[in-house]
Amino acid sequence: MNALPPLRQRVIGASIWSLGGFGFSQLIRFGGNLLMTRLLTPDLFGIMAVATVVMSTVAVLSDLGLKQNVVQSRRGSEPDFLNTVWTVQIVRASQLALAILGVAGLILVTQHYKIISSNSVYADGRVPLVVAAVSLAMIISGFASTKIFEASRHLRIQRVVLIEILAQAFALASMLLWIKVHPSIWALVGGAFASTIATVVLSHAMLPGLRNRLRWDKSVVREVIQFGKWILLSSMIGALIANLDRLLLAGMTDAATLGVYAIAYNMYLATEQLLMRAVAGIGYAAISEVVRDRPSNLKFAYYKLHTVVALAAYFGFGALSILAPRLITLLYDSRYSDAGWMLQILSGGLLLIPSQLALQTFLALNKPRLNTAINLLRLVAILVAMPAGFAAFGLPGALMGLVLASLICIFAVAFLSIRHRFFDWRRELIPLPAIALGLLAGKMALLCLGSP
């Protein structure tokens, strides 16, 4: 491989491409979402939300941290290492597909014996079929090239961003074509398949790097398992955290309400993912390289990244907490108006984003067990807070419980960061005024937008 440019230059270039590409991707996603909400009924989004949650939960429940391993390992550029990782990825994807089919069967059994409430989303007869269908998409995804991991390792992500955009555009076109022929839940399922197929094909065709072949190197497998055992446990917990809100709410609400919540959640997720791309993608790769080559610079490098992420996260929280209801009324019809106050509450989750950079630093330091401990704390807090909030205040209480449970983890992350000597409380305080700036910007935007 050609000599790499300096780290700072690669971080800046990757940031521009990643964040710019994500912004363009979100334009496609929101444009498509606006079209879909006008062409399909809210209950279809609730059903698809369940299927998506099942697929993503099962996927993360067996996550071995293959990408993180390639980025972090000193062997991450060796052909035997990459080919063995690719083979492990294919085997894992096949196992996941069987697990998803098992979940579909379990839902079918609960429906047959009327174990769950008839008002629950899980009682809808279309849910098992949709869940079973997405298992095939999981198998296909396992054949994606490890060239994507190589690009992340070296912070050369321009073509990866292009692949994401092309796959999303292909998915949207497929959904619109399907709706024109037959407007149903299967249009959304077809879009998921189209995105997966496009990503796999383009990952092999568009990216430079090693052409994958089946390989099984036992020393690589041992390294993957050694690193991945803590990633696996952390990811199992993380999967529940990421999807627990919808899994719990599906049992508390009907399909239409869950569909409205899915709109609010997806809008929040767009902001969160934008920031997490900087944290988990660029930040992790940059800090891993510092740990490998210049460990004495860790604290300095950490806060250069942390300050930028925190400023954006705090500003986003302030602005979104003011603007959320008006954004919903601008973008959606009256059926989705409740998504406004839901989004206001969810915006509090952005305050947790800066601490996520510390979790990526623990991974770079080869201490993934710390991530597991933090995620376990967050899981327990959510399991307690959401049902308690729902019992006390209904749906708003459940969402407030979700946010407050997540914010508890900030203190635990700070404690562990102090122990590993890269915490500076003065640098933590510097970005806080961005919250006030966000609130002010939100108020000014409301004045410009006017009344609904």
| SS (HEC) of 159-184 | HHHHHHHHHHHHHHHHHHHHHHHCCC
Q: Residue 299 domain-assigned?
A: yes
Confidence at residue 116, expressed as pLDDT on a 0 to 100 scale: 78
Are 21 and 150 found together in one domain? yes
Q: Residue 246 domain-assigned?
A: no
Q: Residue 120 domain-assigned?
A: yes
Quote the CA–CA distance of 143 and 53 in Å, as a whole number: 21
Q: Residue 110 domain-assigned?
A: yes
Whether 414 contacts 352, CB under 8 Å:
no
Are 316 and 235 found together in one domain? no
Q: Residue 249 domain-assigned?
A: no
Across 284-304, average pLDDT? 84
Are 80 and 175 found together in one domain? yes
User: For residue 365, what are the domain limits?
Assistant: 254-452
Q: Residue 288 domain-assigned?
A: yes
Are 128 and 190 found together in one domain? yes
Length of the chain: 452
Of the candidates 63, 37, 32, the one whose C-alpha atom is nearest the C-alpha of residue 194 is: 32
- Choosing from 241, 265, 297, the residue where a domain stops is 241
Whether 199 contacts 163, CB under 8 Å:
yes
Quote the CA–CA distance of 129 and 125 in Å, as a whole number: 8
Handedness of CA 192, 168, 53, 41 (dihedral sign): negative
- Choosing from 212, 241, 270, the residue where a domain stops is 241
Are 279 and 366 found together in one domain? yes
pLDDT tens figures, 355-389 = 989 988 998 888 888 888 898 999 999 999 999 99
Instruction: Work out how many domains the chain is built from and give that number.
Output: 2
Whether 369 contacts 223, CB under 8 Å:
no
Are 130 and 210 found together in one domain? yes
- Neighbouring C-beta atoms of residue 366, cutoff 10 Å: 14
Q: Residue 222 domain-assigned?
A: yes
Q: Which two tokens stand for residue 284?
A: 């992790």
Are 215 and 303 found together in one domain? no
Confidence at residue 79, expressed as pLDDT on a 0 to 100 scale: 92
Are 65 and 173 found together in one domain? yes
Give 31 or 317, the one with higher predicted confidence.
317
Whether 38 contacts 114, CB under 8 Å:
no
3-state helix, strand, coil split of the chain in percent (to 5) is 85, 0, 15
- Choosing from 200, 216, 241, the residue where a domain stops is 241
Are 225 and 306 found together in one domain? no
DSSP string, 185-243: HHHHHHHHHHHHHHHHHHHHHS--SPPP-----HHHHHHHHHHHHHHHHHHHHHHHHHH
pLDDT tens figures, 380-394 = 999 999 999 999 998
Calculate what percentage of the chain has a pLDDT beyond 90.
35
Confidence at residue 1, expressed as pLDDT on a 0 to 100 scale: 47
Are 188 and 299 found together in one domain? no
pLDDT tens figures, 177-196 = 999 888 888 988 999 899 99
Q: Residue 247 domain-assigned?
A: no
Are 286 and 416 found together in one domain? yes
Q: Which two tokens stand for residue 194?
A: 């189209």
Whether 25 contacts 164, CB under 8 Å:
yes
pLDDT tens figures, 43-75 = 888 888 888 878 877 776 666 778 888 887 778
Instruction: Share the mean pLDDT of the chain.
Output: 86
Q: Which two tokens stand for residue 299?
A: 């604290």
Are 191 and 319 found together in one domain? no
